[in-house]
Copies of this chain bind each other. A is one copy, B any other.
């Protein structure tokens, strides 16, 4: 018999005052759905991880899927907020892009289950549960990112023969891919499954920024010799 041990709520991240049972359940759900996936996660797993009784989950949430949705909604909302703010204070488009990649890496390190949950939502539900929040991100952070690139293009610092929105996806993709395919990348780099350290994530994020800025940099005026590739 397991003794009461009321809501010990030793949530790993104990963000703030996650005193409430409801939050403890959502925190547990984040970790458990991330590591096991929606179907493989049972109500009993969630209850055990949250330190509460299984029946209690049904007091706070209608059913398993509702609980999942609320967890995801909370997560993506938090993420979107964090994304938007960081690019603001940058002096130049270059600086803004560097900040963006660096921040991507920090988020991946701080909330390692974030990419897992988002990827699971993509494959399990085709992002249907997150459509609204992704649309919000598109309207804020992604739009800002595109704006940064377009500004660089208008100011003559970035080349104009790349589509700004596709370029923005190229920017996002690099560190995001590293976060998703981390075990595979570890093998590709010769270190094995678990070899990608946080420090390596940061290194790669710096590389990604270098790569991006090299790609976007306006070609030197070039001494009129003309380039064979059609420009402009």
What is the interface of chain A, defined by CB distance below 8 A to chain B? 37-40, 116, 118-120, 122-124, 126-128, 130-131, 134-135, 137-138, 142, 159, 161-163, 165-170, 172-174, 176-178, 180-185, 187-190, 193-194, 203-204, 207-208, 210-212, 214-217, 219-220, 222
Q: Per DSSP, are chain A's interface residues mostly helix, strand or loop, or mixed?
A: helix
Query: Which one of B176, B194, B222 contacts A177 once the chains associate, using CB atoms below 8 Å?
Result: B176
Which residues of chain B are near A173, meaning CB under 8 Å? 173-174, 176-178
* Nearest 3 interchain pairs by C-beta: A173-B177, A215-B215, A39-B40
Would you list 24 pairs from A and B whose C-beta atoms are within 8 A, ordered by A residue? A37-B124, A38-B40, A120-B123, A122-B180, A123-B123, A127-B183, A131-B193, A134-B184, A134-B187, A134-B188, A161-B210, A163-B207, A165-B188, A166-B204, A167-B207, A169-B174, A170-B211, A173-B177, A176-B181, A180-B180, A211-B215, A214-B214, A214-B216, A214-B217
